[in-house]
């Protein structure tokens, strides 16, 4: 089985602020940090650091070569990443407040310059039994889903950013959703829900053929597939930066499943990885390794767990 992430590659400009800037407000940032990011890059690195050895496909501009270095150093194969000369690398303007929460403004750049030819050339190397991870930060997403399904790949979709065009995608070909509670509520047109379990079940009713991996912050996470519904509580930590928490959760959950772990254990590893990631600054820089997650304890100590 091969794993491909065809997704976004961004340079993240993260501003530490006391509160999110409001309409008409000018706010001085306490600091600025520049990181490698993008949901695609984050998921690839999470998969790699959890042992899944993924390939990445996507596009950058000439100004984004450090993203290739970051991927390579984490064990991600980058032969399907194109360097474009007519457009800048995608970037994100991230505000990180005193509570560790974020708000993000995206510029698509090269991520929105992916072509059908690029998709065809990358997918030509993958087929039946392989897995593809997709997000809504690149162009040609509808074509990617159709072609991946036609080739027999298992399609995992994160519908972020959650925009109206999501509903125009061939969602019947999605094999697994990896999303948060807000995205699920928007997708279903149900902004309020009683619990993560209720929302995951509603997703299952709307998309009965697909598995649902749903995160809900402090309320925990849920996996739902058919009659199976497994809940995982969140680990309480002091959050510093939550930028890549969801991508970390997704990467570690699926990497754990690829290792043969049952759903409950995969959820626990994913929750531990996400909790550890929010105690660190940055996007890809915050993603731990499999060994770090095994050794981490919520109380600040460390222990060894069965591999």
220: which 2 tokens? 């925990």
| CB 287 within 8 Å of CB 228 | no
Using the structure block, give the residue that is written with the tokens 């279903």: 188
d(CA 251, CA 197): 21
20: which 2 tokens? 């999110």
**pLDDT tens, N- to C-terminus, the chain (307 residues):** 999 999 999 998 999 999 999 999 999 999 999 989 999 999 999 999 999 999 999 999 999 999 999 999 999 999 999 999 999 999 989 898 988 888 889 899 999 999 999 999 999 999 999 999 999 999 999 999 999 999 999 999 999 999 888 999 999 999 999 999 999 999 998 877 779 999 999 999 999 999 999 999 999 999 999 999 999 999 989 888 777 899 999 999 999 999 999 999 999 999 999 999 998 887 788 999 999 999 988 765 443 333 2
d(CA 185, CA 208): 16
Q: Is 113 helix (H, G, I), strand (E, B) or coil?
A: helix
d(CA 100, CA 281): 9
This model's pTM is above 0.85: yes
CA neighbor of 39 nearest in space, from 275, 250, 281, 291: 250
Using the structure block, give the residue that is written with the tokens 């990896």: 178
Using the structure block, give the residue that is written with the tokens 């928007």: 186
| CB 98 within 8 Å of CB 19 | yes
């Amino acid at each position: 089985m091969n794993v491909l992430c065809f997704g976004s590659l961004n340079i993240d400009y993260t501003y530490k602020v006391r509160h999110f800037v409001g309409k008409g407000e000018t706010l001085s940032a306490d600091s600025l940090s520049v990181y490698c990011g993008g949901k695609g890059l984050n998921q690839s690195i999470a998969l790699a650091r959890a042992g899944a050895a993924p390939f990445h496909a996507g596009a950058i501009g000439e100004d984004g070569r450090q993203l290739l270095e970051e991927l390579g150093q984490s064990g991600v194969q980058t032969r399907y990443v194109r360097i474009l000369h007519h457009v800048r690398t995608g970037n994100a303007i991230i505000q990180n407040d005193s509570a560790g929460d974020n708000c993000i403004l995206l510029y698509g750049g090269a991520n929105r310059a992916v072509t059908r030819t690029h998709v065809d050339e990358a997918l030509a190397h993958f087929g039946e039994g392989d897995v593809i991870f997709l997000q809504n930060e690149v162009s040609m997403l509808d074509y990617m889903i159709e072609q991946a399904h036609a080739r027999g790949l298992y399609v995992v979709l994160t519908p972020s950013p959650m925009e109206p065009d999501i509903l125009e995608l061939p969602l019947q070909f999605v094999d697994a959703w990896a999303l948060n509670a807000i995205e699920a509520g928007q997708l279903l047109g149900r902004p309020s829900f009683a619990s993560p379990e209720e929302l995951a079940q509603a997703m299952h009713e709307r998309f009965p053929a697909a598995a649902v991996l749903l995160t809900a912050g402090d309320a925990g996470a849920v996996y739902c597939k058919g009659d199976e519904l497994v809940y995982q509580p969140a680990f309480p930590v002091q959050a510093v930066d939550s930028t890549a928490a969801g991508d970390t959760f997704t990467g570690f959950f699926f990497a754990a499943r690829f290792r043969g772990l049952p759903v409950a254990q995969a959820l626990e590893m994913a929750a531990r990885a996400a909790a550890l990631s929010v105690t660190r600054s940055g996007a890809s820089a915050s993603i731990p390794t499999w060994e770090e997650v095994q050794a981490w304890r919520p109380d600040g100590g460390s222990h060894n767990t069965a591999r």
